[in-house]
Amino acid sequence: MGVTDMDRIEGGSRADRVALVEPSFEDFYRAELGRLVALARGLCSPSVAEDVAQESMLVAYRQWARVSGLGSPAGYVRGICAHQAVSWVRRRMSERRAVRRLAGRPEPQVEPLTGDAAQFWAEVRRLPHRQAQVTALFYALDLPVAEVADALGCAEGTVKVHLSRARAQLATRLGTTEEQS
């Protein structure tokens, strides 16, 4: 480092000192990602280790201004990675317990769709997302408009508009007249 650089570090602005002393996130990422992947592989499934490492780096990136000023940015990110790997393992164990509990329950008996019903629901699936949701809740679960609105977190008027539009599209597609309710 030349005298000019030293003068900038000692007497320059904070931005100058940061630019010369603190590594960029890109440099940090290149230097540490492999180590984070190795750490994650040791703590959780190798199939998700890279995702855990990447998520840890994302946390560091979002807070890089603060993290880069820590005594050990690498140590901080390794701690995040270790926590995320343990969380992943706990989540998987919880999912496995839930699956085992549910495995002993009898499967619900649902009649297969045939004929007109199969065609109707195929057309419902082609509707815009919200119209399909409203239609399914209203017809499949026989919910009143108020409960559909509550389930979707919207106003009853919004449900009525989506239901009306869905009925119009379904009537056109299925070649029937709209049902009035």
Same domain, 38 and 79: yes
Least confident of 32-36, 114-118, 124-128, 143-147: 114-118
Same domain, 15 and 87: yes
d(CA 132, CA 123): 9
| Domains contained in the chain, number | 2
Q: What is the DSSP string of 55-72?
A: HHHHHHHHTHHHHTTSS-
Question: Tokens for 104?
Answer: 């002993």
Same domain, 64 and 22: yes
Q: Other CB atoms closer than 10 Å to residue 165's CB: what's the count?
A: 16
- Domain membership of residue 36 (yes or no) is yes
d(CA 55, CA 83): 11
Q: What is the pLDDT of residues 63-104, one digit of tens each?
A: 999 999 989 999 999 999 999 998 988 888 898 888 888 887
Q: What's the pTM?
A: 0.47
Same domain, 20 and 89: yes
**Can you give the pLDDT at residue 74?**
92
Residue-number span of the structural domain to which 15 is assigned: 3-103
Q: What is the pLDDT of residues 160-181, one digit of tens each?
A: 999 999 999 988 988 876 554 4
Same domain, 89 and 136: no
Q: Is 132 exposed, middle or buried (0-12, 13-18, 19+ CB in 10 A)?
A: middle
Q: What is the pLDDT of residues 99-113, one digit of tens each?
A: 888 887 777 776 666
Same domain, 86 and 126: no
